[in-house]
Chain A
Amino acid sequence: MASQTVANAVEVRDLTVWLNGQTVLEEVTFDIPTGAFAGIVGPNGAGKTTLLKVLLGLVRTYEGSILVFGTPPARLGAQRHKIGYVPQRPNFDRSFPARVLDVVMMGRVSCRGLGRRFTPADREAALESLAMVGALELKDRPIGELSGGQQQRVFLARALCSHTQLLLLDEPNTGLDLPSQNQFYELLDTLRRENSLTIMVVSHDLAMVSRYADRILCINKRVHVHGSPSEVLESPLLDQVYGCEFEQIASRGVVIAGGSH
């Protein structure tokens, strides 16, 4: 992984995104420094998932400037493997006849190259990835037979196995109970520290994200607040993002922040 380190893993300037004729994001500007753990929070329909999809190059109807490791997403080319993505609910058929190891190896497709066969090194990288997320014992299980939490780990391993430097996660805790959510965030934090990862997590749970992230981006079409968790939790601008839900979120955030630090 001997690549030059850029100060900001992600740089977004005046980003406006349209989907089906609707403005989903408007004049969004922010930076995510390399090595940061960033939480992107906001209510439903705020454009959080769209923001990730723009960074991944999946949505291209936008204006403004986006740089991922200093390059626009559409021009990442062979560097694309540096970005790992864990979707909210992977869109696969549970009866798909694939084992866990097969699914993780699919994450190696981008770094192996078009039309080239997998090598033993790909298998080793996939196994290593599974070990990193504590799911090595699942390697031979059919993917459809795993629980939601186990599947989440497998898809995290899939996102990590291609020399990933930027990890994008969309609501990774959907359907998980509270202890599993905490374990998952602990795991992300450990992975970030041990592997010099930059992490961006989309969530609508400000309280949970605040415990682990070192910066929070609060969006509702526009960026309303951007800063450290304490700055964001204390910001009166949160009203604009969450409206009437603010009281509840702030109190949960304070309680949890007080309890954990």
Chain B
Amino acid sequence: MTTSIERVSAAPLGQADIDREMAELRRTADAAGNGAPAPLHPSRDYPPYRSSVLRHPKQPLVVVRDPEAVELTGPVFGVTDVTDLDSDLTRQHVGEPLGERITVTGRVLDRQGRPVRGQLVEIWQANASGRYAHQRDQHPAPLDPNFTGVGRCLTDDEGRYHFTTIKPGPYPWRNHLNAWRPAHIHFSLFGTAFTQRLVTQMYFPGDPLFSFDPIYQSITDERARERLIATYDHDQSSPEWSLGYRWDIVLDGPAATWIEEGRS
């Protein structure tokens, strides 16, 4: 015999449950904030994103302030690591992909505002229907034979990157019942130090799914969340061709105070 309590606990979590948890964590963060600087990154322990529960450390991280640390240097990339076509995701197949053609451009900077030059930027994304070209994506939306959704480029001397692609669709996932991800492009970035490494997601302005998404909401500070949203830039749009989005990226890194010690 199943008791009513067991039936309740076995019911799949719905959006309302996740909304309640996210609101509670926002309240906690605001209360803790009270004058203190808001967190700049998501907490690794964010239970509304269910997959984080067993995949975040419980021991405190160990602070390293060694000016000789290998992590203050980092991998380098060059012209042999990319080809010209890699930054145009609409030209990687015989035909053209379906969807809204867009360009995404911006600068990669460090926290002092200096351009990150000649470094590797990698992106990946779902197609216009919200389907990844990945065997484990079981969303019953069509694959597009003319779209893989992978790109890479090197930043130029001003730290600028540029991609031509199609606007990805939102897609469902199984975090909870009726969970949907806002449309996004995954970005992977390198700085001059390995400590500046960043993997993140770029979102599109005005997405109605923002408030429902525990991955986006894992950043509890609203201003920090908004740093992940690209700006529609009409000057970047190309007549009769494509819509333009601009998104600058600032790489976090070791505080200047102790990194400079190693350079003196």
A binds B: no
